[in-house]
């Protein structure tokens, strides 16, 4: 019996315990294709690759492989024990298969056009030398980070917690670029897209929009360096947009076009994709889907264990330092609590010093399990604006997760 | 070969160090100062999950860093590895390969959990309605039938009762 099939049966049996296992099995056997394909027994469903493997892509360390074309690569959790995520280990997520694999800096230009006085066409050299350089440490997190933990499951990239990372970004303020072009009165938003192109003309080009005031807030940046080095191609070489405190869908890679407009933005990747319920915590339920949705925007407050990892064995009677990272949208993480009894009682974790406004903040707490057995740990962050995490969160897209994360470990004598 | 340093601890480095890094890596040149640059090349790529090893990028890397050229003319190139799984034969396989794999890897299916038919029908229909896949309704049904053999779930498994018609979760 292959592993997936075994897992499927185990899960099916477990889920159906109240119904009687035989009824559940019967539903499996009723699958209309099984007979026709000749798969008469439990062990012989078609063999396909396991959901996740490991892979090395150009300029990248070995990462968790979700998809290869276009590439979606996840950072293994252990990298988050460092304050900064190495560029080589930083997660990768492209939307369409026509991503740039070669960039000629002689011809590459960032074009700033639309509702401006003087359209600009800036070379990499000009970007790096003509405008004041600014530097910030900021978390980038995919909108669907941790989607595989949703219950019920949501279709989409099946990330664990590794579709995020914390890096130092250096570049030019988008405001300075817009000022150089001279935004005309009446501008309300800027559209941004990069060099990537879809494989069919019917697929909308990946393009996002920011309100003009957001684009000009002095924090949104066109970055030409990541951790003080050129960006890896798969992370957006030569330049990418940095939108601190906002989900990664806005951090357009291989940024090539900034289009200022005095008209409301219309486009698939804002109007249809990447929508979340307007309700608090982007909540909805499968039986009561939200009628009102909005484009995903600022990070939810959340915290994730980096140590222990799931199913880890921990020695009884010895201090074990639990640690993790907490994220918010820039107000600042002010508290992280940890529970060792499945979110019944809580203790304050120690917070590491603040790294930067939009960086994650690390937390730690020594824990000495007194008796052997299973424990469910939980972590809950709160930020300076009073926002915190919730015991259960769900939406159909699997977006903006801020459910209190739990990890099951075993204490052993 | 471009080598990468370990990340340094967080600090607010200014323009000088980053410009120095860009200069060192040859991505910018100072005004009036033309200098030769290193070959930019990514590491050899290989896919660990591939049973027979992946073709590495190796020597087919291209660079414009040829004789007489400078950083201003630098071209950076990577070569993407090819590592697409083979999916088993079965009813609908040909349609699946023709209509789906033309745009994306079949791993878009194999990374998913087991979903009931209505979820897969919705996902496949999204490819037609939102992305303009050239697929007739009959072909859609064939594709759904095939995907059900790979990542289908019986309706008695409540953990997979996701809601079809998600808000364009890409």
pLDDT of amino acid A37 = 34
pLDDT band at B23 (very low <50, low <70, confident <90, very high): low
CA B25 to chain centre: 26
Looking at chain B, which residue has its C-alpha nearest residue A276?
B167
Q: Which regions in chain A score pLDDT beneath 50?
A: 1-46
CA distance linking residue B61 with residue B59, whole number of Å: 5
* B24 C-beta neighbours (distance < 10 Å), count: 11
Which are the contacts of B47, defined by CB distance < 8 A and separation ≥ 6? Answer: A53, A55, A56, A65, A68, B53, B54, B81, B83
Q: Which helix (H) or strand (E) holds A326?
A: strand A320-327
B14/chain A closest Cα distance in angstroms: 7
Looking at chain A, which residue has its C-alpha nearest residue B107?
A67
| Contact residues, chain A, for B170 at CB < 8 Å | 95, 156-157, 269, 273-274
User: Average pLDDT, stretch B105-115?
Assistant: 94
Pick from A138, A136, A162: which is nearest to A148 by CA?
Answer: A162
Interface contact A356-B156, CB threshold 8 A: no
Contact yes or no for A295/A274 (Cβ under 8 A): yes
Looking at chain A, which residue has its C-alpha nearest residue B156?
A24
CA distance linking residue A290 with residue A284, whole number of Å: 6
pLDDT band at B56 (very low <50, low <70, confident <90, very high): very low
Contact yes or no for A113/A93 (Cβ under 8 A): no
Tell whether A344 lies on the interface with B, counting CB pairs under 8 A. no
| Contact residues, chain B, for A54 at CB < 8 Å | 48-49
Longest dimension (CA), chain A: 72
List phi, psi (to 5°) of A293. -130, 165
Tell whether A176 lies on the interface with B, counting CB pairs under 8 A. no
| Contact residues, chain B, for A38 at CB < 8 Å | none
List, edge to edge, every strand of the sheet that includes A110-114: A120-122, A110-114, A255-261, A189-194, A207-211
| Optimal mutation site among A28, A42, A44, A59, interface B, most CBs of chain B within 10 A | A59
Which one of A28, A62, A135 has the shortest CB-CB distance to B13? Answer: A135
Side-chain-side CA neighbours of residue A56 (13 Å) = 16
| Optimal mutation site among A19, A42, A44, A56, interface B, most CBs of chain B within 10 A | A56
Instruction: Give chain B as a 3 state SS string.
Output: CCCCCCCCCCCCCCHHHHHHHHHHCCCCCCCCCCCCCCCCCCCCCCCCCCCCCCCCCHHHCCCCCCCCCCHHHCEEECCCCCCCCCCCCCCCHHHHHHHCCCCCCCHHHHCCCCECHHHHHHHHHHHHHCCCCCCCHHHHHHHHHHHHHHHECCCCCHHHCCCCCCCCCC
Q: Exposed e or buried b for every residue in A163-200, given b needs 16+ CB within 10 A?
A: bbbbbbbbbbbbbbbbebbebeeebebbbbbbbbbbeb
| Optimal mutation site among A9, A36, A65, A69, interface B, most CBs of chain B within 10 A | A69
Contact yes or no for A350/A326 (Cβ under 8 A): no
Pick from A367, A369, A368, A361: which is nearest to A332 by CA?
Answer: A361
Looking at chain A, which residue has its C-alpha nearest residue B81?
A57
List phi, psi (to 5°) of A173. -65, 135
CA distance linking residue B47 with residue B56, whole number of Å: 9
CA distance linking residue B106 with residue B84, whole number of Å: 7
Looking at chain B, which residue has its C-alpha nearest residue A8?
B114
Tell whether A272 lies on the interface with B, counting CB pairs under 8 A. yes
- Whether cis (ω within 30° of 0) applies to the bond prior to A185 is no
CA distance linking residue A367 with residue B139, whole number of Å: 57
User: Per-residue pLDDT tens for A89-132?
Assistant: 999 999 999 999 999 999 999 999 999 999 999 999 999 999 99
Residues B30, B34, B40, CA angle at the centre, nearest 5°? 90
Contact yes or no for B46/A58 (Cβ under 8 A): no
CA distance linking residue A190 with residue A193, whole number of Å: 10
User: Per-residue pLDDT tens for A12-42?
Assistant: 333 333 333 333 333 333 333 333 333 333 3
| Contact residues, chain B, for A294 at CB < 8 Å | none
pLDDT of amino acid A35 = 31
Contact yes or no for A182/A99 (Cβ under 8 A): no
Both tokens of residue A5?
Answer: 């099939």
A195/chain B closest Cα distance in angstroms: 14
Q: Which helix (H) or strand (E) holds A361?
A: strand A361-367
Pick from B141, B54, B132: which is nearest to B96 by CA?
Answer: B141
Average pLDDT of the residues of chain B: 67
Interface contact A125-B29, CB threshold 8 A: yes
| Contact residues, chain B, for A101 at CB < 8 Å | 77-80
List phi, psi (to 5°) of A246. -110, 155
Bridge-based pairing state of the strands A405-412 and A313-315: parallel
CA A253 to chain centre: 15
A255/chain B closest Cα distance in angstroms: 16
| Contact residues, chain A, for B123 at CB < 8 Å | 155
Interface contact A15-B157, CB threshold 8 A: yes
- According to DSSP, residue A286 is labeled T
Pick from A299, A212, A218: which is nearest to A258 by CA?
Answer: A212
DSSP-based three-state secondary structure for A324: strand
Q: Cα(first)–Cα(last) distance of chain A, in Å? A: 34
Which one of A27, A49, A137 has the shortest CB-CB distance to B154? Answer: A27
Interface contact B169-A396, CB threshold 8 A: yes
B43/chain A closest Cα distance in angstroms: 5
Both tokens of residue B96?
Answer: 């699946």
Which one of A155, A272, A273 has the shortest CB-CB distance to B115? Answer: A155
């Amino acid at each position: 019996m292959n592993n997936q099939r075994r897992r499927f049966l185990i899960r099916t049996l477990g889920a159906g315990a109240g119904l009687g296992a035989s009824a559940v099995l019967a539903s499996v056997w009723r699958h209309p294709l099984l007979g026709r394909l000749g798969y008469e027994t439990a062990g012989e469903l078609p063999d396909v690759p396991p959901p996740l493997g490991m892979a090395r892509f150009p300029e990248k360390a070995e990462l968790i492989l979700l998809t290869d074309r276009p590439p979606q690569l996840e950072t293994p959790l252990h990298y988050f024990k460092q304050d900064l995520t190495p560029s080589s280990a930083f997660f990768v997520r492209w939307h369409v298969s026509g991503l740039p694999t070669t960039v000629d800096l002689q011809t590459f230009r960032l074009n700033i056009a639309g509702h401006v006085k003087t359209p600009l066409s800036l070379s990499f050299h000009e970007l790096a030398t003509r405008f004041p350089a600014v530097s910030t440490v900021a978390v980038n997190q995919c909108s669907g980070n941790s989607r595989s933990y949703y219950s019920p499951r949501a279709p989409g990239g099946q990330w664990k917690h590794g579709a995020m990372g914390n890096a130092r970004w250096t570049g030019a303020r988008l405001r300075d670029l817009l000022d150089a072009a001279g935004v005309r009165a009446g501008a309300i938003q800027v559209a941004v897209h990069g060099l990537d192109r879809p494989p069919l003309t019917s697929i909308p080009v990946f393009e996002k929009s920011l309100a003009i005031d957001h684009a000009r807030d002095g924090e949104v940046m066109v970055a030409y360096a990541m951790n003080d080095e050129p960006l890896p191609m798969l992370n957006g070489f030569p330049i990418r947009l940095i939108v601190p405190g906002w989900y990664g869908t806005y951090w357009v890679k291989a940024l090539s076009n900034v289009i200022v407009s005095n008209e409301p933005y219309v486009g698939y990747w804002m109007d249809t994709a990447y929508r979340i319920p307007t309700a608090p915590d982007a909540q909805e339920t499968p039986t009561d889907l939200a009628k009102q949705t909005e484009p995903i925007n600022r990070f939810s407050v959340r915290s994730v264990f980096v140590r222990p990892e799931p199913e880890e064995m921990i020695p009884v009677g010895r201090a074990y330092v639990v640690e993790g990272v907490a994220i918010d949208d820039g107000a600042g993480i002010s508290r992280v609590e940890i529970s060792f009894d499945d979110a019944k009682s809580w203790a304050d974790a120690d917070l590491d010093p603040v790294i930067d406004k939009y960086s994650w903040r690390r937390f730690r707490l020594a824990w000495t399990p007194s008796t052997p057995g299973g424990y469910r740990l939980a972590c809950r962050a709160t930020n300076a604006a009073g926002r915190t995490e919730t015991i259960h969160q769900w939406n159909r897209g699997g977006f903006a997760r801020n459910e209190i994360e739990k990890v099951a470990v075993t204490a052993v004598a | 070969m471009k080598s990468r340093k370990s990340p340094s601890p967080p600090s607010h480095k200014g323009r000088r160090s980053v410009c120095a890094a860009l200069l060192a890596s040859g991505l910018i040149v100072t005004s009036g100062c033309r200098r030769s640059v290193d070959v930019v090349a990514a590491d050899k790529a290989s896919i660990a999950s591939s049973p027979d090893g992946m073709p590495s990028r190796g020597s087919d890397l291209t660079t414009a860093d040829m004789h007489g050229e400078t950083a201003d003319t630098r071209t950076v190139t990577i070569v993407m590895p090819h590592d697409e799984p083979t999916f088993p034969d079965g009813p609908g396989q040909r349609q699946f390969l023709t209509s789906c794999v033309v745009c994306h890897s079949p791993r878009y299916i194999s990374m998913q959990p087991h979903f009931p038919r209505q979820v897969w029908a919705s996902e496949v229909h999204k490819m037609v309605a939102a992305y303009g896949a050239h697929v007739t309704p009959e072909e859609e049904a064939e594709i759904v039938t095939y995907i059900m053999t790979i990542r289908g779930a019986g309706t008695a498994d409540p953990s997979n009762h996701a809601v079809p018609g998600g808000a364009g979760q890409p």
